[in-house]
Structure 1
Amino acid sequence: MGGFVSRARHRSGRNGSCVTVRNHSESADHRDGRSAPAQPPHAAMVPHPADTERAPAEWPPAKFTRSGDAWRRLRRAVCPRGAEPSRGSSGAPPGLPGRGGYVSGRGIRGIRPTGADWLSACGWWSCMLFWGCGGLWGRLVLMADHAGTSLGPGTLEVLSKRVLGGELVVDERRLSGGLSTDNVLLRTDRGRSFVLRRYPGRNTSAVEAALLDLLQDRAPVPEVVYADDSGDLLGEPFMLTRFASGVPLTAVFAGAAEQDGPQLAEAVGQALAAIHTVRFGQPGFFSDGALRPDAPPPEHHDDLPAFVEACLARGHADAVLSADERRALVQIAARSASLVAATAGTAQLVHSDFNAKNLLMRPGDHGTWRVSAVLDWEYAFSGSGLFDVGNILRFPQELCPGFGDHLPGAYEKAGGELPDRWREISEMLDLFALSDLLTRSPDHPLFVKAAAAVRHLVSRHL
C-alpha cells in the first residue's frame, strides 16, 4: 500500500462524509516523534493463537526459507559444520510462527518439537537478539509478552497493511487525555510515531479530522494520517495522527519562573488567536466532517440561568455547596444573562476545552517557548472565542505568575478581539462548563476543582 496523497479526501464514513488523509511517506519533521523520549518495549507483534484467522499471510518470511541466503548464513553461524537445525513440519525456523503453528509456552502449537529443535531455537534467538534488533526483534517476541498490550494483533496487522503502508508497529503505549476517547501511542519499525485515537462512545472522528485539516496551516495541531468514522476498518471509529512531541503546559507551569509567565502567555495567545480566525456562517454544533454547525444543540445551551439550575438539580452540588450558595449562583447567572446573550451571534471556531493539559509546548530560541500542538478537539463548536478565554483562565492558582495578566494583551496583539467587559463575559460563558462539571461524581478531581471555583465566584459576587 503506497502513501496517501497529501490533503486528499478519503471517504470512509457510512454517510459519505469526507475526512482528511495525509501523506505519511513524506520526510519526517518534529511531529514524527524523533525528538520524543524513547518508549519502553511493550508491544508483541506475533499473531496470537486465538487470532489465527487474522494471521499475517507472509509467514514464514521469504528471507527465512530453506533456500534463502539469510537462512544459510544463520545456519552456519548457529550450527556446527555439516549440521542443520530441524525445522519441524511447519517449514519455519524453530521459535518462529510458521504455517503449522504459533509460539506458545509448549513450543510450536500443533508441532511436537525435537531436542534438536530446542537446541537450534536457543541458537536462533541468541542470534536474533543481536542481529535483528533493528525492528524485526519487536515482531518476533514471545507470545507471553503480548498479554499486556491494548491492541490485538489483528488490529495491528490492519493498521500496518491498510494505513501505514507496510510499516510494522513495534511498540505501543496508552496515553492520557481525551474524556471520550482512547489514545494509544504507536511506534513503527521505521522509527516513526503516531497516535491512534479511538472513539468507543461519542463518535467525533470525522469532525476532529476535518478540523485538524482546516487548521493545518493556521494553528499548531497534529497532522492527520487516516480517519475512519464508520468503524468498518477496525471495528470502531478511529483517527490516526502523527505524534506531536512536546511538554504539557501543566508541567511547564509547574517549573516556570516568574519571568516565564509573559512569554508563555504570548505563545498561548498567538495559538488561540489563530484558532479564532476560523469563522463559520452561523453558531452551532458540528454534526459531521462537512463542519456545518447544524447539529441539535444541548438543552438550555443558550440560557445560562436555566442551564445552571438544571445542572445543580441533577448533579451532586448539594454535597459541597450550601443552599444559599446554589441559590446565589443561579442569581449571578440571571444577572449576567444579557452579557452572555450579546455573544449569541458570534461564529468563531471554539476549542471548548482550551486549557493547559491540552497544550503541548516546545522550547524555542533564547529560552522561549512555543505551542507545538493543541490537542483534543472532540467538543469544538462554532460560537464565541471568549469561551476559550474563560477556559484557560478558569483556575488562576494553576497558572504561573504573570501568565493571566499578560494573556489578554498577547491575544489581542496576535489579532484576537476582546470586547468591553470581556473578563466578566468570559467568566460567565465558562460557567456553562463549570456547572456541567458539577454533574460528575463527587470523587472526580474536576468536580472538586469546579466546586471550589464556583464557591470563589459566589463569594466575589455576594
Structure 2
Amino acid sequence: MSAFDASLAPLAGGHSGRTFLGEAGGERAVVRLYPPDDPRGAAAPEVDQAALQLVRGLLPVPEVLEVRRADPAAGRPGLLVTSWLPGERGDLVVQRLTAAGDAEALRRLGGHTGAVAGALAGMPMLRPGHFTDPDLGLGRFPDIGLLEWVEARLAHWPEEDRAALGEVVWPALELLDTVRRSCLVHSDLNPKNLLVDPHTLEVTGVLDWEYAHAGHPWTDLGNLLRFDRQPAYVDGVLTAWTSLRGGERDAVLEGARAADLWALVDLAAREGTNPVADRSATLLRAVAATGDLHAWPFGT
C-alpha cells in the first residue's frame, strides 16, 4: 500500500475533485489522484514529479513524498503525494484585500505573484511542446493555428461571433510572433493555485502542475491577469514581471491578453461545466463583440 493515511478529505478550490488532504509519516500531505484514462498516460504522476523537481529552489513548491503510476488494467489511479505547504489560497487573499480597498497590499501581492510568472518566463525550453515522459521530453502540439482552434472549439457559436473573434485573433497572432523563444509554462497560474502568506503576502506555494508544458513566455502572465484586474494588483504584477523579463508594460499586457486567447477559447468551449468555463465564455464573447483584448464584461 502507500505511505500515506488513506482517510482523505477533499481540498477546496479545484474543479477536478482529485486533490485531497491526507497524512504521511504523521505530517499533513496532499494527495493528487490521476485517473487511468489521463490523457498524458500512466506516467502522468511522474511527469508532474519531474516538473516539481525542475523548479525546486527557484519557486516554492512542495516536496514529493510518493509517486505511483496508474494501472489501467486494474482500474487503479496513479497518485502523487506531496508535502503540505503553509499559506492561504491566493484567490481568497485577493478577495479580502479587494473588499478592504487595500490598494497598497494588492500592489505588493501583485509584485509577488508577478515575480513567479516572471521566473517561469525566464526558464528556457528548446521549443514549444507538451511533456511526454518523466525526463520531460517534448512532444509536438497539434499543427493547428489559433484561428483553426477557434473554429474547432467554438463550432457551436454563431458564425458571426466566430468571425468577430477572428478579427481579434489576427493582430494577436502578429503580436505573439514578436517573441520567438519558449519557456517553462505552468499553464494554470492564477491566484487559486498559489499559496500566500496572509501577513507578508509572499507566495509560499505554487501548486497544480498538471498542465505544465513548454510554451510562450506571456502565457502564464495572461492567466495570472485573466480575471484579477484590480488596477493596483495589475500594476504590481506588471512591475515585477517587466523588472525580470523586460519590455514596455502596456505592450507586455497586450501580449499577455493575446497569449491567453488559446486557454480562453478552450475554456469557453466547456461552458456549462464549471464556473471558470462560464466566466471565460462571457469574457471571450465580450472580446469578440468589442474587438478589444482588454474587454471586461463583469463590472467593477
Q: Report TM bin, short chain.
A: 0.7 to 0.9
SS in 2 for 1:369: coil
Q: Is 2:41 the partner of 1:211?
A: no
Q: Paired residue for 2:298?
A: none
Could you tell me which amino acid in structure 1 is paired with residue 161 of structure 2? E
Is 1:275 matched with 2:120?
yes
Offset at residue 412 of structure 1 (A): 2.4
CA contact (8 A) 2:15 2:274 kept: no
The ranges of structure 1 where at least 4 consecutive aligned residues each deviate by more than 6 angstroms after the TM superposition are: none
Q: Say whether 1:376 aligns with 2:208.
A: yes
Equivalent residue, structure 2, for 1:195: 30
Which of 360, 367, 370 is the aligned partner of 2:195?
Answer: 360
Counterpart of 2:10 (choices 170, 174, 192) is: 174
Kept in 2, the 8 Å contact 1:170–1:188? The answer is no
SS of equivalent residue, structure 2 residue 154: helix
Q: Counterpart amino acid of 2:149?
A: F
1:117-144 CA distance string (max 9 Å, x none): xxxxxxxxxxxxxxxxxxxxxxxxxxxx
Query: Do the aligned residues in 2 keep the contact of 1:395 with 1:453 (CA within 8 Å)?
Result: no
**Once superposed, what is the RMSD of the aligned Cα atoms?**
2.5
Q: Is the 8 A contact 1:197 1:238 kept in 2?
A: yes
Structure 1 residues 423 and 400: alpha-carbon distance in aligned structure 2, compared to 1, 3 A threshold: closer
2:22 counterpart of 1:186: yes
CA contact (8 A) 1:231 1:238 kept: no
Aligned-partner Cα distance in 2 for 1:385–1:229: 30
**Rounded Cα–Cα distance in structure 2 between residues aligned with 1:332 and 1:170:** 49
Rounded to whole Å, the distance in 2 between the matches of 1:406 and 1:361 is 15
Aligned twin of 2:175: 339
Q: 1:177 and 1:346, CA in 2 relative to 1: closer, same or farther beyond 3 A?
A: farther
Contact residue 121 and residue 218 of structure 2 kept, 8 A: no
**Structure 1 residues 234 and 212: alpha-carbon distance in aligned structure 2, compared to 1, 3 A threshold:** farther
Q: CA 1:252 to 1:328, structure 2 compared with 1: closer, same or farther past 3 Å?
A: same
1:296 aligns with 2:140: yes
Q: Residues 43-122 of structure 1 correspond to what in structure 2 (within 5 A)?
A: none
Is 1:404 matched up with 2:234?
Answer: yes
Q: Quick check: 1:268–1:371 contact (8 Å CA) kept in 2?
A: yes
Secondary structure in structure 2 of the residue aligned to 1:271: helix
Residues 284 and 389 of structure 1, relative CA distance in 2, 3 Å threshold: same
| SS of structure 2 residue aligned to 1:159 | coil
- Counterpart-to-counterpart distance in 2, 1:307 and 1:341: 17
Deviation of 1:188 (Å): 5.0
Task: Tell me the TM-score normalised to structure 1 length.
Answer: 0.56
SS of the residue corresponding to residue 336 of structure 1 reads: helix
* Greater percentage in strand: 2
After superposition, what is the alpha-carbon deviation per residue over 1:162-221, rounded to whole angstroms, capped at 9, x for unaligned?
Answer: xx6xxxx2853112455557112113573x111111101314212110010111111011
Letter in 2 for 1:325: D
Cα distance change, pair 177–199 in 1 and its aligned pair in 2 (3 A): farther
Q: Which residue number corresponds to residue 252 of structure 1?
A: 93
C-alpha displacement of 1:355? 0.7
User: Separation in 1 of the partners of 2:173 and 2:6?
Assistant: 54
Paired residue for 2:77? Answer: 236
Cα distance change on mapping 1:170 and 1:452 into 2, 3 Å: closer
Higher relative contact order structure (alpha carbons within 8 Å, sequence separation ≥ 6): 2
Local SS of the residue matching 1:259:
helix
CA distance in 2, matches of 1:422, 1:206: 34
Give yes or no for the alignment of 1:307 onto 2:149: yes
Structure 1 pair 213–181 and aligned structure 2 pair: CA distance change class (3 A): farther
The aligned residue for residue 390 of structure 1 is 222
1:402 is paired with a residue of what secondary structure? helix
Match of 2:210, SS state, is coil
Cα distance in 2 for residues equivalent to 1:441 and 1:266: 32
Structure 1 equivalent of residue 255 of structure 2: 425
Is contact 1:181-1:197 (8 Å) kept?
no
The amino acid of 1:310's aligned partner reads A
SS at match of 2:82: strand
Q: What corresponds to 1:83 in structure 2?
A: none
| Cα distance between partner residues in 2 of 1:417 and 1:284 | 24
Closer/same/farther in 2, CA of residues 401 and 368 from structure 1, 3 Å limit: farther
Over residues 339-359 of structure 1, what are the superposed CA-to-partner deviations in whole Å (9 max), with x where a residue is unaligned?
23333x422101111111111
Please state how far the C-alpha of 1:386 moved relative to its aligned partner.
0.2
Of 252, 267, 271, the match for 1:437: 267
Q: Does 2:282 align with 1:452?
A: yes
Aligned pair count reads: 281
Distance between the aligned counterparts of 1:227 and 1:391, measured in 2? 28
Greater mean deviation of Cα atoms: 431-440 or 333-342: 333-342
| CA displacement, residues 252-284 of structure 1 (integer Å, 9 cap, x when unaligned) | 011102221110011112222222332222221
Show structure 1 runs of 5+ residues with no match.
Answer: 1-157
TM-score by length of 2: 0.84
> 2: distance between equivalents of 1:408 and 1:308?
28
The answer to whether structure 1 residue 159 and structure 2 residue 2 are counterparts is yes
CA distance in 2, matches of 1:339, 1:284: 20
Gapped regions of structure 2 (runs ≥ 5): 293-300
Deviation of residue 296 (structure 1)? Answer: 3.5
- Name the counterpart of 1:223: 63
2:146 is aligned with 1:330: no
Change (3 A) 1:324 1:306: same
Q: What residue is the counterpart of 1:348 in the other structure?
A: 183
1:309 and 1:330 in contact (8 A); partners too: no
Q: What is the letter of the counterpart of residue 87 of structure 2?
A: G
Paired with 1:445 and 1:306, the residues of 2 have a C-alpha distance of 25
Cα distance, 1:429–1:249 mapped onto 2, change above 3 Å: same
Distance in structure 2 (CA, Å) of the matches to 1:406 and 1:264: 7
| Pairwise CA distance, 1:337 | 2.3
